[in-house]
Structure 1
Amino acid sequence: MLTQLSIRNVVLIEKLDLFFNRGLTVFTGETGAGKSILLDSLGLALGERASTALIRSGANQASVTACFEIPENHPIYHQLNEQGLEIFDPSETTLVIRRIISADGRSRAYINDQPVSLNFLKEVAQSLVEMQGQHEQVGLMDQRGHIKILDNFGVSSLLLQETQKTYHQWIKKTAELAALKATLEATAHEEEWLRNAVEELKNLAPKGEEELELVRQRKELQQDERRLEALTSALAQLSPQDRRAFQPAQTLLNASKALQKLLPSSLEETSSSNPADQSIQEALEAIIRSEEALAEAESILTHLVNDIQLDPQSLDEIEERLFSLRAASRKYNVAVDELATLLQEFETRLLNLDLGNHQIQELEQQVATCRQEFEEAAEKLSLNRQKVAHKLQTAITKELIPLKLDRAQFFVSITPLSNEAWNQNGKDQVQFLIAANPGVPPAPLNKAASGGELSRLLLALKVVISNQSTLSALVFDEIDSGVGGATATAIGERLHRVAQNIQVFVVTHSPQVAASGDTQLKIIKTIDNGVTLTHTKELTSQERREEIARMLAGNHVTDAARAAADSLLHR
C-alpha cells in the first residue's frame, strides 16, 4: 500500500506530506483547488513525463517521494533482482520512490536511494499503482494486458506453468538445432581446408613446449661448436701442421740443446765449474719443466676436443624443425606451443561435421516432440480460458447494471495467434470487447466506450478480479463524472468493496462517493501574502458531514443538506 506522499515545490504546493491508511481514501474540494496537482505529483513519482512547468514559481527544483509497504511475495522483488538492485533490508518491506525535476529540465529517479532509469521506474510503478482518469484508462485500453487479467481471474496456474515449461523447452531445443545447423554449415564450407590443415599438422606432429626444448638444444649445439673451434685453435698453436711455423715446444727443445752444449761433460768438471754454469743448469731445468707443461696442455686440449661430439646434421635438423613449426604458427595465427591444441580442435570440428547429420536428425526429433508437448499444453490452456472467459463475461456484465451500463454487454474474445506469434502464454490472443447498446456489434474498448464508461467498466472489472490483483493501489480521477443518484451510490459502494482488497484513492465531486470513503481529505487553496498555495486536510467526522453537505447544497449549507449528509454517511 501507499503509506506516504511527500511533495515539494510542485505548482501550487510548496510543502505537503500526506500519510495514508488502507481502504478507500477520497479527495474532495472545490473546483480549481488543486486536486489535479496531487494526481500529477503522484504520476511524476510513478514515472510520468516531467515538465519544468510543474516546478513552483521561484523554486530551483521539484521533488515527489512516494513510500510503499510491499508484501514479501510481491513480484516487484523479482524485477529489482533482475536489475541487480539489492535495496531491501531482509527485515523491512518498505519501498521509497523519489523523483526530482530541475529547472534546467533534467529529471532523476531513485528507488530506495539507488539511481534508476526512468523506463525501469515506470516498470516498477506498473506493479504498484494503476491510475485511471477520464481519458487515461491505460491499463484497460492496452490489449496486451487483457490475457493477464483473464488468467489472474481464474485460469489454472498448473496449466499456465505447464504451457510455459513446454514452451521454454521447445524454444531451447529449437535454438540448439539452429546453432548446430549454423555451425555445421560454416564448417562444411571449410571442410577441404580443414582436412588439408589436419593432414599438414599431423605430418608436422607438434608437441607442447617443443619450441622451448628445440631452442635449448640449438643453443647447446652452438655453444659446443664455438667451444670446439676455440679448443682446436689453441691446440693448433701447440702442434701446428706447418712445422716451420713458430712452435713453443720446438723453441724450448732448441734452447735446451743449445744450453746443454755449454754445460761440462763430467761431474768433475761440474764441481769445478764457475757460478755461471750453475745458472745455466737452472735455466735448462726450467726449460725442461716448460716442455712438460706444454706437453700436458696439449694432452688436455686433445682430450677436450675428442670429448666434444659435434654433429652438424643435428643442428641443421633442429633449425629445419624450428623453421617448420614457426611457419605453421604464422600460417594458422597461433603460438607454436598451441599447434598441438589447434590440431585437436580441427580434428574435433571434422568429427562434428561427420557426426553432424546424425545429431541434426536427433535434435529435429526432439524439437518436434517439444512442440507437440507445447501444443497439447496450450490447447488445454485454451479450453480452460474459454470457460473462465465465460465466467468473467457474466460477472462483469452483472456489475455493469447498477453502474448505469445496463444496456452494455462485455465480451472476452479469444482468438488463435499465428504460429509465429506463439509464446509462453500459449496460442491465444485475448481482447476485451464491449457492445454499448443492443444490436451494436462488439468492438474494442477504445472504439466503443466513452471515458466515463471506460472508468465504470474498469471499476466493474476491479470489483470482479480485486482478490487476484498484485497492485498496491488504484487511483480513480472523477470516475463518477456525468452520473449521480443511484449510479453514484453504486459506484461508491463498489469502490469501497474493491478497497477491501486493494488500497483505493478517488478524486470525486460526488457526495455519494465521498461518503463511501474510509478516509476523506479535503484539498484547499489559500492565498498568503499574494502567493497561492494548495493544502490538504484530513477531515474529522464532523468536518466530513459539513463537506458532504456542501457538496450536496453548494456554498449555502442548509440543515436539510446536513441531514442528507448524515444519511449518506450512516447508510
Structure 2
Amino acid sequence: MLTSLYVRQFAVVEEAEIAFGPGLTVVSGETGAGKSLLVDALMLLAGARADSGMVRSGSDRAELAAEFDLTGLPLAADWLRQEELDDGETCQLRRVIRAEGSSRGWINGRPASLAQMSALASLILEIHGQHEHQALLSRQHQMALLDAYAENEERVARVRDTARAWRDVGARIRTLSGGDDRERQIELLAHELEELDRWALAPAALDDLEAQHRRLANAGRLAEGANGVVELLDGESEFAIGRALLRAHAELSRLAELDATLAPILELLDSAQIQVGEAVDGLGRYAQDVELDPERLAEVDIHLTHLHDLSRRYRLPIRELTTKADEVRERLTELEGAGDALDRLGRERDKLLSDYAAAAGELSTSRLDAATRLGTAVAGLMGELGMTGGRLVVHLEAVEGDDPDPQGRERCELLVSANPGQPPRPLRKVASGGELARISLAIEVATLGNDQIGCMIFDEVDTGIGGAVAEVVGQKLRALGESVQVLCVTHLPQVAAQGHAHLLVSKQSDGDSTHTQIEVLNAGGRRDELSRMLGGVEITRETRAHAKKMLDSAQG
C-alpha cells in the first residue's frame, strides 16, 4: 500500500508531501490545476522515462519519493530480498531528475537502475488509464490474473514443478548417455584418464620431480661450485679459512696463557675449526656424489613437458591435474555403468510425463471454466460502466509442442469489444484511454484484486461518462477500495463522493510564478469541492444541499 508521496520542484509543484490511507482516495481540481501530476510522479518512480521539462522552472532538479507498506505483498518482499534491497516491512522509492535531463534512482536508500525500479513497481503498483506501466496489458499478468480468479494456485504449482522435474530428468539422461555418441565419449574419457594417471602427480611428488630437474640440470655447476667452496675453506692458499683459523688459534692460545679470561673465546675458535672441517668433508662427499646423468635428466624433462601440455589443454594449474583425473574417472564410471541408471530415469521421465498430462489437463479445464465466468462477469460490469454491449473474451491459445511447459498447455490473451458489432481486439490495442481505464476497472472489480497488487491508480477513469453511469463507476471504485488501495483522479462529483478520502489540487499565481497546492479535505471541504464540481462558477444553496446529500448518501 502507498503510505506517502513527496514531490519537490516538480513541474508546477514547489513542494508537497501527501499521506495516504487504505480504501479509495479521490483527487479532484480545476482543469489544468495539475491533478495528474500525482500519477506522473508515481509513473516516474515506477521507471518511466524522464525529461528536463519535468523540473520546475528556475530549479536545478526535481525530487520524488514514495513509501510503501509491503504487508500482504510477498512477491515484492521476495524480489527485494533477492536483489539485496530489502529493509523491513516498508519500501521507499526515490528519484532525482536534473534540469539537464539526467536522473538517478534509489530503492531503500540504495542506488537502483530504472529497470529495477520498474520491476519492483510492477509488483506493488498498477496505473490504469495510460498505456504505459499497466501490468494488466501484459499477457503473463493476464494469465496470472485468470489463475488467481480460478484459484489455481495449487494446480499451477503442480504443473510447474512436474514440468521442471521432467526437464531435470531429461538433462540427467543426456548427461549419462553422453548425448548422441556415448561410445566415443567413453573412448575419449578413457584416453584422457590414461594420460592423466600416467603423468599427473600429487603435490609432494611434483615438488620432488621439480627438485630433481633443478639438480640434474645443474649437476656440473653444483660439483664445480662445491669444490670451489672446499678450496676457499681448506685450500693451499694462505687466505684459506682453515689456515687463517689455525693461525688465529695459535696466536690466541699464547694470549690465553697471559690472560685466562680469553679461554672461552679460544673454545669458540676450536668449535669453528671443527665446523669448518665438517663442512669441508660434507662438500667433498657432495662433489663426489653429484654426477651427470643425461638419461635421467631427459626422463624428467619429458615428464615436465607432458605436465605443462596437460595444464594448457585443460586450462588448469599443474597441481590441479590430479583433481581433474578424479573428475574424468568419475564421469567415465558413470558412462560405463549408465545402463541401469538410464533405464530407471527413463521410467521416471515417462511417469512424470503422465503426471504432467493429468495436471495440465486439470489446469486447462479450470482455466476454460474461469475464462467463461470472468468474461461474463466483466461484460456485465462493462454495461454498468456505460459500455453497453461491450464484452470481454478470455482467449486461451494452445502452446505448440509436446514437451511439458511449466506454464501449462495454453497462453492467455484478453480480447475486448467496447461496442456492439465490433470484433474483440487485444486489450493492449484498445486506443481510448478512458475506455481502457473503465475496462480495467471492470476486470479489477470482477476479480476483486486477486492479482495481489498493493495500490491501483485510475487516471481519468470517468472520461466521457456522466449521470447514473458515473455514480456506478464511483461505487465500483469504492467496492474495489474495500479489498485494495485505490487512487482515482476524477472530474465527476458522483465519483468523488464515493472516496474514503479526498485530495484537492489547486493552482495559485502571484503574477510572477505559478504554484500547485495539494490538500486533504475535511468533511466541510469535501462538501464545498463537490458543490464546485456540481455547480461550476456559481454555487447556490441548492447546489450545496445537493452536494451534501450526494456525500451523505455515498458515505452512508
Question: Normalised by the shorter chain, which TM-score bucket?
Answer: 0.7 to 0.9
Q: Give 3-state SS (helix, strand or coil) of 2:361's partner.
A: helix
One of 453, 461, 464 as aligned partner of 1:482: 464
Q: 1:379 to 1:222 in 2, by over 3 A?
A: same
1:65 is matched with 65
Q: 1:191 to 1:518 in 2, by over 3 A?
A: same
1:131 is matched with 127
Q: Give 3-state SS (helix, strand or coil) of 2:63's partner.
A: strand
Q: Give 3-state SS (helix, strand or coil) of 1:474's partner.
A: strand
Q: Give 3-state SS (helix, strand or coil) of 1:549's partner.
A: helix
For 1:510, give the aligned amino acid.
L
Once the two structures are superposed, what CA deviation does each residue of 1:113-160 show, in whole Å capped at 9, x if it has no partner? 111111010111111111112655833333332111101112332211
One of 156, 161, 174 as aligned partner of 2:157: 161
1:191 aligns to 2:187 (yes or no):
yes
2:33 is matched with 33
For 1:518, give the aligned amino acid.
H
1:176 aligns to 2:176 (yes or no):
no
> For residues 178 and 83 of structure 1, what CA distance do their matches in structure 2 show?
33
Q: Give 3-state SS (helix, strand or coil) of 1:158's partner.
A: helix
Once the two structures are superposed, what CA deviation does each residue of 1:434-470 show, in whole Å capped at 9, x if it has no partner? 2334444433234567332222121111112225242
Query: Which segment is superposed worse, 23-32 or 183-192?
Result: 183-192
Once the two structures are superposed, what CA deviation does each residue of 1:320-378 show, in whole Å capped at 9, x if it has no partner? 54234223223423777666656555555544554467755654554444333223211
> For residues 137 and 525 of structure 1, what CA distance do their matches in structure 2 show?
27
Once the two structures are superposed, what CA deviation does each residue of 1:74-119 show, in whole Å capped at 9, x if it has no partner? 211110111122432xxxx221111101123221111111111110
For 2:533, give the aligned amino acid.
M
Q: Give 3-state SS (helix, strand or coil) of 2:442's partner.
A: helix
Once the two structures are superposed, what CA deviation does each residue of 1:513-569 show, in whole Å capped at 9, x if it has no partner? 111111111111111251111001222222222221111111011122112212211
1:247 is matched with none
One of 391, 399, 423 as aligned partner of 1:409: 391
Q: Give 3-state SS (helix, strand or coil) of 2:531's partner.
A: helix
Q: Give 3-state SS (helix, strand or coil) of 2:95's partner.
A: strand
For 2:162, give the aligned amino acid.
T
The 8 Å contact of residues 433 and 444 in structure 1, kept in 2 or not, is answered as yes
> For residues 2 and 338 of structure 2, what CA distance do their matches in structure 1 show?
58
1:97 aligns to 2:93 (yes or no):
yes
One of 407, 411, 432 as aligned partner of 2:414: 432
> For residues 123 and 59 of structure 1, what CA distance do their matches in structure 2 show?
30
2:446 is matched with 464
One of 391, 394, 397 as aligned partner of 2:379: 397
1:45 is matched with 45
In structure 1, stretches of 5+ residues that fail to align are 235-302
1:545 aligns to 2:527 (yes or no):
yes
Aligned-pair Cα RMSD in Å? 3.8
The 8 Å contact of residues 211 and 322 in structure 1, kept in 2 or not, is answered as no
1:76 aligns to 2:71 (yes or no):
no
Q: 1:99 to 1:312 in 2, by over 3 A?
A: closer
Give the Å deviation of 1:21: 1.9
Query: Which segment is superposed worse, 540-549 or 347-356?
Result: 347-356
TM-score normalised to structure 1 length? 0.76
The 8 Å contact of residues 515 and 568 in structure 1, kept in 2 or not, is answered as yes
> For residues 21 and 419 of structure 2, what CA distance do their matches in structure 1 show?
39
Q: 1:546 to 1:174 in 2, by over 3 A?
A: same
Give the Å deviation of 1:73: 5.1
1:85 aligns to 2:123 (yes or no):
no
For 1:130, give the aligned amino acid.
E
1:11 aligns to 2:19 (yes or no):
no
One of 401, 413, 420 as aligned partner of 1:419: 401
Q: 1:319 to 1:95 in 2, by over 3 A?
A: same
For 2:205, give the aligned amino acid.
E
For 2:30, give the aligned amino acid.
E
Query: Which segment is superposed worse, 66-75 or 515-524?
Result: 66-75
> For residues 116 and 391 of structure 2, what CA distance do their matches in structure 1 show?
37
Q: Report 1:62-461 matches (<5 A).
A: 62-71=62-71, 74-88=74-88, 93-133=89-129, 138-179=134-175, 188=184, 191=187, 209-213=204-208, 318-319=296-297, 321-333=299-311, 344=326, 347-348=329-330, 350-355=332-337, 363-419=345-401, 423-447=405-429, 450-461=432-443
Which is higher, the Rg of structure 1 or of structure 2?
1
Q: Give 3-state SS (helix, strand or coil) of 1:482's partner.
A: coil
Give the Å deviation of 1:38: 2.3
Q: Give 3-state SS (helix, strand or coil) of 1:209's partner.
A: helix
> For residues 195 and 203 of structure 1, what CA distance do their matches in structure 2 show?
12
The 8 Å contact of residues 187 and 349 in structure 1, kept in 2 or not, is answered as no
Q: Give 3-state SS (helix, strand or coil) of 2:373's partner.
A: helix
> For residues 22 and 157 of structure 2, what CA distance do their matches in structure 1 show?
33
Q: 1:485 to 1:5 in 2, by over 3 A?
A: same
Q: 1:312 to 1:199 in 2, by over 3 A?
A: farther
What is the count of residue pairs matched by the alignment? 496
> For residues 69 and 552 of structure 1, what CA distance do their matches in structure 2 show?
35
> For residues 146 and 28 of structure 2, what CA distance do their matches in structure 1 show?
34
Q: 1:556 to 1:357 in 2, by over 3 A?
A: same
Give the Å deviation of 1:182: 6.2
Q: 1:328 to 1:18 in 2, by over 3 A?
A: same
> For residues 109 and 149 of structure 1, what CA distance do their matches in structure 2 show?
30
Q: Give 3-state SS (helix, strand or coil) of 1:146's partner.
A: helix
> For residues 322 and 42 of structure 2, what CA distance do their matches in structure 1 show?
66
> For residues 136 and 322 of structure 2, what CA distance do their matches in structure 1 show?
64
Once the two structures are superposed, what CA deviation does each residue of 1:149-174 show, in whole Å capped at 9, x if it has no partner? 10111233221111111122122233
The 8 Å contact of residues 498 and 551 in structure 2, kept in 1 or not, is answered as yes
Q: 1:176 to 1:570 in 2, by over 3 A?
A: same
Q: Give 3-state SS (helix, strand or coil) of 1:419's partner.
A: coil
